[in-house]
Structure 1
Amino acid sequence: MNQSSPSDLVFTVKRRQPELVAPAKPTPREFKLLSDIDDQDGFRLQIPLVHFYPSHPSMVGKDPAHVIKTALAHALVFYYPFAGRLREGHARKLMVDCSAQGVLFVEADADVTLSQFGHLQPPFPCFQQLLYKVPSSEGMIDCPLLHIQVTRLKCGGFIFALQMNHTMCDGPGVVQFLKALAKIARGASEPSIQPVWLRKLLNARDPPRVTCTHYEYQQVAVPPHDDIEETQDMVQRSFFFGPTQIAAIRQSLPHHLRDGCTKFELLTAFLWRCRTIALQLEPIDAVRLMCVINARGKKTLGGLEIPEGYYGNAIVFPAVVTTAGKLIGENNSIGYALEIVKRIKSEMSEEYVQSVADLMVIRGRPCFTKARSWIVSNLEHVGFRDVDFGWGKAVFAGIAKAGAGGFPGVSFYVSCENAEGEEGIVICICLPSKAMERFVKEMDGMLEKPFMHSSL
């Protein structure tokens, strides 16, 4: 595997003045309440996405910024809440003021070609130039809910970067919006899937009642000596796992476990164990893993189905807890970690999702537990790369970096091709620099060969 995203790449980006793109036609002026899943504290943050597109012969002479900006105004007629602003009501309840103020849009040019980035996987050099932080646009309340920057490249390709307010949508939700935007950019008059609001489907019961155990929301203090949020010397690196790496990890399992797990479960167990070893925790320290699970696809939810087109947060992240000593002890192989990871899926049920919504109302919409926690979100099949504005599919598309808000312990699994064209998963990890060195060494040892990665 080749190292990608050369960290020494430097280029200049010239940006035009930021502007607000409003819906192309009048839209309803109303207030729309977010669901009790949407407005939890752990979703009150911005998530950055990035898509890289090469030039395309059929699009020569067409300006991607103009095409996308024009399509955006028309897409917002259907997704008009995105053009509004958040307001906070009683008991921290969030709602959207559908004011049609618009989405933040920035047009830019960079003196660099797509090939100069090398093989594309996060983290990306000079990313802050590809999604410029416009002053006073980063907040939750009364700020733009989407921020888009289209950066044209010297080669005729372009980079589409987006920052989304997580209270408005999850991964599948934002991809649904982006595919609608892309379809309109290619000439359609409306989305193929009509957006559905219906956030009341994921509201608390009356009266609310917590009926499940939620280790993901336990109130646990972060010990000062291992608070990686406060560590200044943080490093982001991503790792590609193709068939060769997956097979090597599977071979390390006891025979009775090799065929009974998914690729996601296998990778999560492997990485959680390596990450815990790298952090050098005490054996008695509790460690927590949370896996994001999509509630879509379940037949019913609180007596109501989640309809096609729903673009709100329909995810929960059940947690399992063990000790560092048990997870990485000499007598416990990756098989122990795998058995714990597999337990998470069994926690998922319609009642579990309802219990989360009820917990939010009872406990004032708390954040997830951060102490010695790692959260993983499998976005491999969400379809980021399938977003086609007319220039074909993206050569890379997905979450731009590890972490969420100020918490570095979140990793996203995104589909990707390596330099040889081999399909696999790229996973970005954020750790203190010394811990990252130990993490890579541990992975190399388990895979019995050096593991190439990209880093910043």
Structure 2
Amino acid sequence: MAAAASSLAFTARRGDPELVAPAEATPRGLKRLSDIDDQDCFRFYRSVIFFYRAGGGRATSRDGEEDPARVIRDALAAALVHYYPLAGRLRELPCGKLVVDCTGEGGSFVEADADVALEEFGDTLCPPIPCTGELLCLPESNSAVVTNRPLLYVQVTRLKCGGFVFGSQICHNLVDAVGVTQFLQAVGELASGMAAPRVRPVWARDLLDARDPPRPTCHHPEYEPASDEANDKLRPGEKLVHGAFLFGRDDIAVLREQLPAFMKHRCSRFLLISAFTWRCRTAALGYGPGEEVRFMFVVNGRGRRGDRPLPDGFYGNALTFGVARTTAGELCSGPLSRAVELIAAALVRTAADGYTQSVADTVVLRGRPRFTTARTYVVTDLTKSALHEVDLGWGRPVFGGPATTTLATFHLPASGGGIVVPMGLPPRAMERFEAGVRAGLAAAAASRAVEPAVLSKI
């Protein structure tokens, strides 16, 4: 991170939390979550954070008519009319199944002020965002109690420069990244004066339920335990240092030149950078040559062939996971193209007919297991997401995306066609990772007899 951001410290002056209920009466009753929604690994609050500059055609004085906290609070109430399950509460049935009790109680809303300017966060914002504990309602965690409490938490923090920060945390059992984006776009549209969201939200969770009886048709290694999990090199709760690595166009070009001719134009940026960072990360963590390592990535199940098609406006969890597996020795000693092939093959497997349905069947048969993170590099590609474009009435955000990273990471879009990869590793492993990335890019550039591309560490 930039030096200014890493040393930043401030305390937000928060008002008392209030419940924001739907602006109009909404339906009551219980709504079942799907068997994809209802996984124990989704029992936490997904956080996203947005930074907006002052202006954007609006006055942002606290006492002004267009105070962002007031505008967003009113827009949130209006959006919850359409997304009324988010204003309810989760209940757990005796069998462990989660259902939404549509009570209309609302989400938790906090307005705050901070004596800090947007510029003080540094030139380039990237997760982990500095001082997120002051900008979000809840502590960041990969697990949480999600029943009998609000499903949505929002904090709007006014900055001394006139800009503001919008921090949101939504229970992951209700939405995936696409669903979060759709909901926040609706809030922004209503904040801008529209009478209703452009996209009508659709529940339709029954389309992602297991069959009766469940009958998986695909193999799902994401729910299979890794070998010798207790002795993994990276454990939840371990102290990590964080860095963010920008792969610019030149970096991507020199890596692509390492591939055989038949792969160069067929290999996506996601495959290329994932393969490269998976190798560097595995080497940095020091796995033994014979130890199994995995790469796991999020797949959007919308539009999958052979599945019951999900309608436009579906905002529930339609995500599944693809997994590539090999030994650390094969991964690190083989060419970059071999890592690309492994991930590409996993991606092809997730495109099989009925794959999402098979996941739902597997989840039910195995008692809603948590996916495996031991010896696993977990990545979500957000480069094509509209999350970083959410306009709450003040224009596009300076930054919009995840607030933090833990054992998982993201591919985030960067200006000029680049991709930013935040990374959290133990201190020594981070040193080795950074050195490995720089050495790998330099070697790739040398093989082309060109000047080495310069990796930017944010």
TM-score, normalization by structure 2:
0.92
Q: Distance in 2 between matches of 1:116 and 1:56?
A: 18
Change (3 A) 1:138 1:36: closer
2:447 is the alignment partner of 1:445: no
User: Which of the numbers 313, 321, 342 marks the counterpart of 2:325?
Assistant: 321
Q: Distance in 2 between matches of 1:231 and 1:187?
A: 44
Counterpart of 1:103 in structure 2 is 107
Residue-by-residue CA offset, 1:374-429 (whole Å, 9 max, x unaligned): 111111111012211111011111111223xxxx1x11222233xxxx34222221
Q: Is the 8 A contact 1:237 1:453 kept in 2?
A: yes
Counterparts in 2 of 1:103-122, with a 5 A limit? 103-118=107-122, 119-122=124-127
Q: Secondary structure at the match of 2:418?
A: strand
Counterpart of 2:85 in structure 1 is 81
Counterpart of 2:343 in structure 1 is 341
Return 291-300 or 78-87, whichever deviates more: 291-300
Q: Distance in 2 between matches of 1:39 and 1:221?
A: 26
User: Which of the numbers 420, 423, 432 marks the counterpart of 1:426?
Assistant: 420
Counterpart of 1:140 in structure 2 is 146
Counterpart of 2:289 in structure 1 is 283
User: Which of the numbers 136, 143, 161 marks the counterpart of 2:167?
Assistant: 161
Q: Which amino acid aligns with 2:341?
A: E
Counterpart of 2:131 in structure 1 is 126
Counterpart of 1:16 in structure 2 is 15
Report how far residue 44 of structure 1 moved: 1.6
Q: Distance in 2 between matches of 1:121 and 1:92?
A: 37
Return 337-346 or 256-265, whichever deviates more: 256-265
Counterpart of 1:52 in structure 2 is 51
Q: Distance in 2 between matches of 1:249 and 1:45?
A: 36
Q: Secondary structure at the match of 1:292?
A: strand
Q: Is the 8 A contact 1:65 1:150 kept in 2?
A: yes
Q: Which amino acid aligns with 2:330?
A: K
Q: Distance in 1 between matches of 2:260 and 2:302?
A: 33
Return 97-106 or 84-93, whichever deviates more: 84-93
Q: Distance in 1 between matches of 2:185 and 2:3?
A: 27
Q: Is the 8 A contact 1:53 1:392 kept in 2?
A: yes
Q: Distance in 2 between matches of 1:440 and 1:415?
A: 20
User: Which of the numbers 167, 187, 191 marks the counterpart of 2:193?
Assistant: 187
Q: Secondary structure at the match of 1:317?
A: strand
Q: Distance in 2 between matches of 1:98 and 1:341?
A: 41
Q: Secondary structure at the match of 1:342?
A: helix
Report how far residue 242 of structure 1 moved: 2.3
Q: Distance in 2 between matches of 1:5 and 1:151?
A: 20
Q: Is the 8 A contact 1:86 1:140 kept in 2?
A: yes
Change (3 A) 1:222 1:65: farther
Q: Which amino acid aligns with 1:412?
A: F
Residue-by-residue CA offset, 1:311-357 (whole Å, 9 max, x unaligned): 0011110212111110002xx12111011011112112342111110
TM-score, normalization by structure 1:
0.92
Report how far residue 288 of structure 1 moved: 1.1
2:397 is the alignment partner of 1:399: no
Q: Distance in 2 between matches of 1:395 and 1:178?
A: 16
Counterparts in 2 of 1:296-375, with a 5 A limit? 296-298=302-304, 301=307, 304-329=308-333, 332-348=334-350, 349-375=352-378
User: Which of the numbers 394, 401, 413 marks the counterpart of 2:411?
Assistant: 413
Return 90-99 or 319-328, whichever deviates more: 90-99
Change (3 A) 1:7 1:436: same
User: Which of the numbers 242, 246, 252 marks the counterpart of 1:240?
Assistant: 246
Paired residue total:
439
Residue-by-residue CA offset, 1:82-117 (whole Å, 9 max, x unaligned): 011111124321111111111111101111111111
Change (3 A) 1:339 1:5: farther
Q: Is the 8 A contact 1:182 1:388 kept in 2?
A: yes
Counterpart of 2:445 in structure 1 is none
Report how far residue 450 of structure 1 moved: 5.7
Counterparts in 2 of 1:58-73, with a 5 A limit? 58-60=57-59, 61=64, 62-73=66-77
How large is the RMSD of aligned CA atoms in angstroms?
A: 1.9
Q: Is the 8 A contact 1:377 1:413 kept in 2?
A: yes
Return 30-39 or 244-253, whichever deviates more: 244-253
Report how far residue 211 of structure 1 moved: 1.8
Q: Percent identity?
A: 45
2:382 is the alignment partner of 1:376: no
Q: Secondary structure at the match of 2:203?
A: coil
Q: Is the 8 A contact 1:23 1:102 kept in 2?
A: yes
User: Which of the numbers 266, 269, 277 marks the counterpart of 2:275?
Assistant: 269
Q: Which amino acid aligns with 2:79?
A: A
Change (3 A) 1:380 1:431: same
Q: Distance in 1 between matches of 2:92 and 2:127?
A: 34
Q: Is the 8 A contact 2:233 2:287 kept in 1?
A: no
Q: Is the 8 A contact 1:5 1:123 kept in 2?
A: no
Counterpart of 2:446 in structure 1 is none
Unmatched tracts of structure 1, length 5 or more: none
Q: Secondary structure at the match of 2:310?
A: coil
Counterpart of 1:171 in structure 2 is 177
Q: Which amino acid aligns with 1:337?
A: A
Report how far residue 221 of structure 1 moved: 5.4
Change (3 A) 1:350 1:106: farther
